[in-house]
């Protein structure tokens, strides 16, 4: 039996430096703490980092996904598809537009949607005249989907793509940063405390499409336009509501924190990669568990460390294994309950167990292990020692 743990290990947490604190305090002392100069500077720096033309900062990753999807003009006659294995927001934002939601199953190896899965479903949908207007691929745990092939399929059927990269900021695809929008209409990130960088709460949406950018900018602020394009005939005080919209603004001090953290994004991702590599080295030869297939470890943002258990081989239930780790100070998490099995989506669309079997298999066997930049390799060693003790 391992000695009693001296600390509790959580799956994720923020890393706040003294520079981050100073940046926030300085902004709090400024004249404007909302809609000031920090916001556009943060947006410019993110766009430059990712290689995209435009960026908007909003108050959550969900808001980013919502205004991106809404800007495509979906309505009640449309369909949108996303992964069955994601946080519910990936699907909810489609429903917010009035469109109907359907799902794609995942690869049993990478836990992402694949071009093969998408191609088969598109062929069937085309024959039924039920093609989606938008597809939202989810870069699960920080590993990008095969976006070049997915984009080619979407283009064949004239379907828009919004990348849900909320878990993948700082990651890459084929050597290019996730967020450059070369394979999609827009890319969305989350700035939640457990993500690659944080602004407390917040989100980002990037695009290379000027028209889409302007639509999203209107949606962020109630649909209200201001500036030279609307004031010329009236006066500099004039504003007008030009479309439906929302209050998705983010504060200056949140942007100050995000801007400060952005300076360390590459450092953060590199640390996550080192910790993940150490995990995989320790765990890859244990027969009772299985790890996410990672084709390009250097491209992975490593938001989550996923471990799948053969509970039958271990001789314990998922709940018992979770309790064993908790007793040792390791708080495992689970990401996520398959979206189609949530009662809301079952009641709304009639989904049921068995509709997306790989997502369901994943959920039954997976746990999310602690992975964040406040951990050290010695912490990973302790957690892996716990794995060996519990499963063997």
Encode pLDDT of 356-377 as tens digits: 999 999 999 999 999 999 999 9
Do 135 and 200 belong together in one domain? yes
**For the chain, percent of residues with pLDDT exceeding 70:** 97
**Neighbour tally for 312: CB within 10 Å:** 10
Would 58 be classed as within a structural domain? yes
* Residue 136: pLDDT over 90: yes
Q: Residue 248: its pLDDT value, please?
A: 98
Do 112 and 195 belong together in one domain? yes
Q: How far is CA 261 from CA 14, 107, 220, in A?
A: 10, 33, 23
- Encoded tokens for 194: 């457990």
Query: The domain spanning residue 342 has which CATH number?
Result: 3.90.1150.10
Do 327 and 274 belong together in one domain? yes
Do 307 and 249 belong together in one domain? no
Do 121 and 238 belong together in one domain? yes
pLDDT in tens, 72-82: 999 999 999 99
* Residue 39: pLDDT over 90: yes
Q: Residue 231: its pLDDT value, please?
A: 62
For the question of whether the overall pTM of this predicted structure is more than 0.85, the answer is: yes
Helix (H) or strand (E) holding 126: helix 115-127
* Residue 208: pLDDT over 90: yes
Would 6 be classed as within a structural domain? no
pLDDT in tens, 310-341: 999 999 999 999 999 999 999 999 999 999 99
Q: Are 196 and 265 in contact (CB under 8 A)?
A: yes
pLDDT band at 230 (very low <50, low <70, confident <90, very high): low
**Total structural domains within the chain:** 2
**Mean pLDDT score, 202-217:** 99
Helices (H) and strands (E) in the chain, counts: 15, 14
Of 195, 227, 261, which residue sits at a domain end? 261
Do 307 and 328 belong together in one domain? yes
The mean of the pLDDT values for the chain is 97
Do 205 and 272 belong together in one domain? no
**What DSSP assignment string belongs to 133-184?**
SEEE-B-GGGPPP-HHHHHHHHHHTT-EEEEE-TT-TT-EETTEETTS-TTS
CA distance 333 to 314: 19
Question: Cα-flanking dihedrals φ and ψ of residue 141, to 5°?
Answer: 70, 0
**Mean pLDDT score, 5-14:** 91
Query: The domain spanning residue 231 has which CATH number?
Result: 3.40.640.10
Do 270 and 257 belong together in one domain? no
Do 200 and 294 belong together in one domain? no
Domain that holds residue 124: 18-261
**Neighbour tally for 308: CB within 10 Å:** 18
**Mean pLDDT score, 18-39:** 96
Do 293 and 354 belong together in one domain? yes
Do 173 and 285 belong together in one domain? no
Q: Read off the DSSP letter of residue 5.
A: P
pLDDT in tens, 281-320: 999 999 999 999 999 999 999 999 999 999 999 999 999 9
* Residue 353: pLDDT over 70: yes
Q: Residue 234: its pLDDT value, please?
A: 73
Do 83 and 227 belong together in one domain? yes
């Amino acid at each position: 039996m391992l000695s009693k743990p001296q600390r509790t290990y959580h799956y994720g947490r923020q890393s706040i430096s003294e520079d981050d604190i100073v940046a926030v305090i300085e902004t709090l002392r400024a004249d404007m703490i909302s809609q000031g100069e920090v916001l556009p500077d943060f947006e410019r720096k993110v766009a430059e980092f990712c290689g995209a033309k435009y960026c908007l900062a909003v108050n959550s990753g969900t808001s980013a996904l919502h205004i991106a999807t809404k800007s495509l003009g979906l309505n009640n006659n449309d369909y949108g598809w996303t992964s069955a294995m994601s946080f519910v927001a990936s699907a909810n934002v489609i429903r917010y537009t009035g469109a109907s939601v359907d799902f794609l199953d995942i690869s049993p190896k990478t836990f992402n949607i694949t071009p093969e899965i998408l191609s088969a479903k598109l062929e069937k949908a085309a024959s039924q005249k039920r093609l989606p207007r938008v597809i939202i691929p989810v870069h699960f745990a920080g590993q990008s989907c095969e976006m070049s092939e997915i984009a080619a399929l979407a283009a064949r059927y004239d379907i828009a793509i919004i990348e849900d990269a909320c878990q993948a900021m700082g990651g890459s695809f084929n050597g290019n940063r996730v967020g450059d929008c070369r394979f999609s209409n827009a890319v969305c990130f989350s700035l939640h405390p457990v993500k690659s960088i944080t602004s407390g709460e917040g989100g980002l949406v990037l695009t290379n499409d000027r028209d889409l950018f302007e639509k999203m900018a209107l949606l962020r602020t109630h649909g209200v336009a201001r500036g030279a394009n609307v004031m010329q005939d009236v006066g500099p005080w004039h504003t007008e509501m030009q479309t439906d919209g929302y209050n998705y603004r983010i504060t200056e001090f949140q942007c100050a924190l995000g801007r400060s953290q952005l300076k360390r994004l590459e450092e953060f991702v590199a640390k996550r990669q080192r910790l993940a590599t150490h995990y995989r080295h320790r765990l890859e030869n244990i027969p009772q568990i299985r790890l996410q297939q990672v084709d390009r470890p250097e491209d992975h943002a490593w938001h989550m460390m996923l471990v799948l258990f053969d509970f039958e081989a271990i001789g314990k239930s998922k709940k018992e294994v979770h309790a064993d780790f908790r007793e040792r100070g390791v708080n495992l998490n689970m990401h996520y309950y398959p979206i189609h099995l949530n009662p809301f989506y079952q009641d709304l669309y009639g989904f049921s167990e068995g509709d997306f079997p790989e997502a369901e298999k994943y959920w039954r066997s997976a746990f999310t292990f602690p992975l964040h930049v406040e951990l050290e390799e010695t912490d990973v060693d302790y957690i892996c020692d716990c794995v060996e003790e519990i499963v063997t």
